């Protein structure tokens, strides 16, 4: 059976063959526990250290990388920083309206501890206005969270300026860089950064939280005291290695990957020239194209075009039947939201695949709209 053309690289990316090969020995013969004191343990601990350095190479200097099971877990861990802030009378958390559920729902879970949550609106291009944000951030703000690249529409937020504003008011800044890590430069003035292995051609089941040196977090998972005591549990050397090698590949292929993805995106825009692009067309990561054809029933389109793996809204929200909160935040009407699709290109996508997918999607659309 021919597998579908994969255009859903924001949901997850295929595992890089190099990462797969590097993981195998740590699943097979080198099975030591990286936290054991004997030789087998020390061997695996050394490989975890190498992976930590590889992951750190794409992050700001002067910080620590804590391995987690996912970026969602990293974000949950990062929010713990607000407890110290509360002791200083800071009880406000500001997150962008268009954040991933991992940020939005974690923020909301702090209401029960006395925090007030603001979901900061974005403009019709999906970008937050620094001027507008100025009237929300004040000396009661504990934390501001803003993503680097949006997972649904690919727009890039002015994270550096948001962080400057947060800091000038004494607040901490968390950046969910899941969709930008390894592809788009991460400003180095933020305090915490969440990243994920499976979005950069690494394995699923591993993420990381980078914290600025000196920043203390409360324990999220109690136990054997691994990961500086904040996240206990035995690390998987295989997953760490896969993540590390994937990060190293992103680093060494940065320009090549970007050139390839820009070519794919330019070609896709030609092939889909009857569609409108949702979100900013210039402040964006080109591997994401969120497109709209008014009047289209995307549910029907998905069932008509089963040989292309694409998405409507984010992978997590698409099964829920809820209209995308991101597209709604741009001011799109419910019918416009429901006639939008997301195409995501990656390192392994080919021009031929884009062409074939565009033919299949566009013919199904013409048949539906005629
Ligand atoms: N943040 C963003 C922007 C994402 O796109 C995702 C995954 O879709 C996550 C967080 C969660 O990442 P993970 O799957 O590693 O928990």
Whole-number Å distance, alpha carbon 124 to ligand 1 midpoint, is 23
Give the C-alpha separation, 229 to 219, whole Å.
Answer: 6
For tokens 């550096």, the residue is 160
β-bridge partners, 153? none
Residue 181 has pLDDT above 60, yes or no: yes
As separate numbers, helices (DSSP H) first and strands (DSSP E) second, the chain gives 14, 12
Residue 316 has pLDDT above 50, yes or no: no
Whole-number Å distance, alpha carbon 243 to ligand 1 midpoint, is 15
In degrees rounded to 5, what are phi and psi of residue 236?
A: -95, 110
Quick one: what percent of the chain has pLDDT higher than 90?
96
| pLDDT digit string, tens, across residues 200-249 | 999 999 999 999 999 999 999 999 999 999 999 999 999 999 999 999 99
Whole-number Å distance, alpha carbon 196 to ligand 1 midpoint, is 7
Residues contacting 105, CB < 8 A, separation 6+: none
Residues contacting 62, CB < 8 A, separation 6+: 212, 213
C-alpha neighbours within 13 Å on the C-beta side of residue 119: 15
| Ligand 1 pocket, Cβ-based, cut-off 6 angstroms | 70-72, 100, 102, 147, 151, 176, 178-179, 196, 207, 315
| pLDDT digit string, tens, across residues 35-65 | 999 999 999 999 999 999 999 999 999 999 9
| Mutational test site, ligand 1, from 106, 199, 247, max ligand atoms within 8 Å of CB | 199
pLDDT value at residue 217: 97
Residue 123 has pLDDT above 80, yes or no: yes
- Encoding tokens for residue 265? 């995106």
pLDDT value at residue 313: 58
pLDDT value at residue 254: 97
Provide DSSP, 248-279. HHHHHTHHHHHHHHHHHHHHHHHHTTTSEEPS
* Position 315 confidence tier, pLDDT thresholds 50, 70, 90: very low
| Mutational test site, ligand 1, from 67, 99, 102, max ligand atoms within 8 Å of CB | 102
| pLDDT digit string, tens, across residues 337-368 | 999 999 999 999 999 999 999 999 999 999 99
Give the C-alpha separation, 354 to 343, whole Å.
Answer: 10
* Position 370 confidence tier, pLDDT thresholds 50, 70, 90: confident
| Mutational test site, ligand 1, from 71, 95, 146, 200, max ligand atoms within 8 Å of CB | 71
Provide DSSP, 157-171. P-HHHHHHHHHHTT-
Give the C-alpha separation, 268 to 250, whole Å.
Answer: 23
Quick one: what percent of the chain has pLDDT higher than 70?
98
Whole-number Å distance, alpha carbon 188 to ligand 1 midpoint, is 21
Whole-model pTM?
Answer: 0.97
pLDDT value at residue 322: 76
Are the C-beta atoms of 23 and 203 separated by less than 8 Å?
yes
Residue 318 has pLDDT above 90, yes or no: no
Listed residue (301, 311, 312) closest to 361, CA to CA = 301
Q: Is 4 exposed, middle or buried (0-12, 13-18, 19+ CB in 10 A)?
A: middle
pLDDT value at residue 312: 87
């Amino acid at each position: 059976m021919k597998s579908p053309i994969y255009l859903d690289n924001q949901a997850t990316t295929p595992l890089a063959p190099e990462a797969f090969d590097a993981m195998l020995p740590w699943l097979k013969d080198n099975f030591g526990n990286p936290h054991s004191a004997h030789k087998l343990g020390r061997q695996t601990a050394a490989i975890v250290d190498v992976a930590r350095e590889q992951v750190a190479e794409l992050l700001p200097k002067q910080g620590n990388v804590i391995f987690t099971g996912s970026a969602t877990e990293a974000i949950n861990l990062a929010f713990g920083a607000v407890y110290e802030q509360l002791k200083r009378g800071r009880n406000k958390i500001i997150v962008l309206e268009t954040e991933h559920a991992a940020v939005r729902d974690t923020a909301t879970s702090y209401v029960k501890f006395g925090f007030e949550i603001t979901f900061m609106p974005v403009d019709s291009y999906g970008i937050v206005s620094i001027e507008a944000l100025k009237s929300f951030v004040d000396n009661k703000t504990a934390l501001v969270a803003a993503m680097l690249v949006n997972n649904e529409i690919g727009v890039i937020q002015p994270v550096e300026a948001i962080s400057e504003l947060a800091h000038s008011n004494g607040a901490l800044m968390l950046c969910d860089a899941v969709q930008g890590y390894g592809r788009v430069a991460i400003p180095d003035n933020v305090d915490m950064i969440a990243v994920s292995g499976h979005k950069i051609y690494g394995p699923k089941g591993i993420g990381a939280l980078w914290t600025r040196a000196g920043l203390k977090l409360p324990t999220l998972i109690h136990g054997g005291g691994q990961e500086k005591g904040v996240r206990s549990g035995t690390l998987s050397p295989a997953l760490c290695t896969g993540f590390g090698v994937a990060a190293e590949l992103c680093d060494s292929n940065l320009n090549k990957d970007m050139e390839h993805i820009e070519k794919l995106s330019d070609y896709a825009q030609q092939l889909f020239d009857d569609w409108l692009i949702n979100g900013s067309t210039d402040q964006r990561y080109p591997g994401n194209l969120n497109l709209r054809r008014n009047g289209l029933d995307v549910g029907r389109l998905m069932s008509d075009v089963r040989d292309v793996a694409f998405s409507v809204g984010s992978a997590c929200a698409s099964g829920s039947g809820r209209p995308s909160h991101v597209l709604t935040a741009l001011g799109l009407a419910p019918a416009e939201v429901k006639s939008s699709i997301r195409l995501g290109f990656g390192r392994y996508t080919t021009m031929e695949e884009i062409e074939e997918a565009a033919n299949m999607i566009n013919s199904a659309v013409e048949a539906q709209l005629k």
